[in-house]
Structure 1
Amino acid sequence: MSKKLFIETLGCAMNVRDSEHMIAELSAREGYELTDNAKEADLILINTCSVREKPVHKLFSELGGFNKIKKEGAKIGVCGCTASHLGKEIIKKAPYVNFVLGARNVSKIGEVIHRDKAVEIDIDFDESQFAFKDFRSSPYKAYINISIGCDKQCTFCIVPKTRGDEISIPADLIVAETRKAAESGAKEVFLLGQNVNNYGRRFSGEHEKINFTELLRRVSAVEGIERIRFTSPHPLHMDDEFIEEFARNPKICKSMHMPLQSGSTEILKAMKRGYGKEWFLNRAAKLREMVPDVSISTDIIVAFPGESDQDYEDTLDVMRQVRFEQIFSFKYSPRPLTEAEKMTDTVDPEIASERLSRLQAYQDTILDEITATYRGREFDVYFEELRSDGYAAGRTDNNITVKVKGSEELLGTIRRVKITEVSRLVQYGEIVA
Structure 2
Amino acid sequence: MGAKKFYIETLGCAMNVRDSEHMVAELTQKEGYEPTDTLEEADLILINTCSVREKPVHKLFSEIGVFNKRKKEGAKIGVCGCTASHLGEEIIRRAPFVDFVLGARNVSKITQVLHKPKAVEVDIDYDESQYAFGEFRASPYKAYVNISIGCDKQCTFCIVPHTRGEEISIPAELIVREAKRAAESGAKEIFLLGQNVNNYGRRFSGEHPKTTFTDLLKMVSEIEAVERIRFTSPHPLHMDDAFLEEFARNPKICKSMHMPLQSGSTRILKAMKRGYTKEWFLERAAKLREMVPGVSISTDIIVAFPGETEEDFEDTMDVLEKVRFEQLFSFKYSPRPLTPAQHYENRVPDDIGSARLKRLQERHGEILDELKAKRVGEVHRVYFEELRPGGMVAGRTDNNMLVSVEGSEELLGRTLSVEITEAGRTAHRGRVVA
Mark yes or no: TM-score above 0.5: yes
Deviation at 1:258, TM superposition (A): 0.2
Distance 1:127 1:49 in 2: 19
Distance (Å, rounded) in 2 between the aligned partners of 1:207 and 1:109: 28
**1:1-400 → structure 2 map (5 Å cutoff):** 1-400=2-401
Q: CA deviation at 1:248?
A: 0.3
Corresponding residue SS for 1:418 = strand
Instruction: Show CA shifts across 1:373-420 (max 9, x none).
Output: 110010000000001221000000000000000000000000000000
Which residue of structure 2 lines up, in the alignment, with residue 425 of structure 1?
426
Question: CA deviation digits over 1:232-252, x for unaligned, max 9?
Answer: 000000000000000000000
- Which segment drifts farther, 270-279 or 54-63? 54-63
Shift of residue 13, structure 1, vs aligned partner: 0.2
Cα displacement (A) at 1:425: 1.9
User: C-alpha distance in 2, partners of 1:178/1:116?
Assistant: 36
* Distance (Å, rounded) in 1 between the aligned partners of 2:209 and 2:64: 44
Structure 2 counterpart SS, 1:101: strand
Match of 1:409 in 2: 410
TM-score between the two structures when normalised by the length of structure 1: 1.00
The percentage of aligned residue pairs carrying the same residue is 74
> Secondary structure at the residue paired with 2:371?
helix
* Letter matched to residue 137 of structure 1: A
What are the Cα deviations for residues 293-313 of structure 1, in whole angstroms up to 9, with x where unaligned? 000000000000000000000
CA drift of 1:207 comes to: 1.1
| Distance apart, 1:209 and its partner CA | 1.4
- Letter aligned with residue 396 of structure 2: R
Q: Deviations over 1:270-313 (max 9, x none)?
A: 00000010000000000000001000000000000000000000
CA shift, 1:79, in A, is: 0.2
Distance 2:135 2:369 in 1: 41
Distance 2:426 2:200 in 1: 32
1:226 and 1:296 map into 2 onto residues whose CA distance is 21
The AA in structure 2 aligned to 1:418 is E
Q: What do residues 60-118 of structure 1 show as CA deviations (whole Å, max 9, x unaligned)? A: 11101100000011000000000000000000000000000000000000000111100
Q: Secondary structure at the match of 1:7?
A: strand
Work out the CA distance in 1 between the residues paired with 2:252 and 2:264: 31
Per-residue CA deviation, residues 311-346 of structure 1 (Å, 9 max, x unaligned), is: 000000000000000000000000000000000110
Letter aligned with residue 210 of structure 1: T
Shift of 1:366: 0.4
| CA distance in 2 between partners of 1:344 and 1:403 (Å) | 47
> In structure 1, how many angstroms separate the alpha carbons of the residues matched to 2:225 and 2:294?
24
1:124 alignment partner AA: D
Distance in 2 of aligned mates of 1:402 and 1:372: 15
Name the SS of the counterpart of 2:299 in structure 1. Answer: strand
Report the RMSD for the aligned CA atoms in angstroms.
0.4
Give the counterpart letter for 2:350 in structure 1.
P
2: CA distance between counterparts of 1:22 and 1:408?
Answer: 28
Could you tell me how far 1:58 is from its partner in structure 2?
A: 1.3
Please state how far the C-alpha of 1:229 moved relative to its aligned partner: 0.1
Q: What count of residue pairs does the alignment treat as equivalent?
A: 433
Deviation at 1:208, TM superposition (A): 1.5
Measured against aligned partners, the alpha-carbon deviations of 1:174-207 in whole angstroms (never above 9, x if no partner) come to 0000100011001000000000000000001111
Alpha-carbon offset, residue 372 of structure 1: 1.2
Deviation at 1:34, TM superposition (A): 0.7
Gaps of 5+ in 1: none
Q: Counterparts of 2:203 and 2:390 in 1: how far apart (Å)?
A: 47
Q: For 1:208 and 1:258, how far apart are their aligned partners in 2?
A: 28
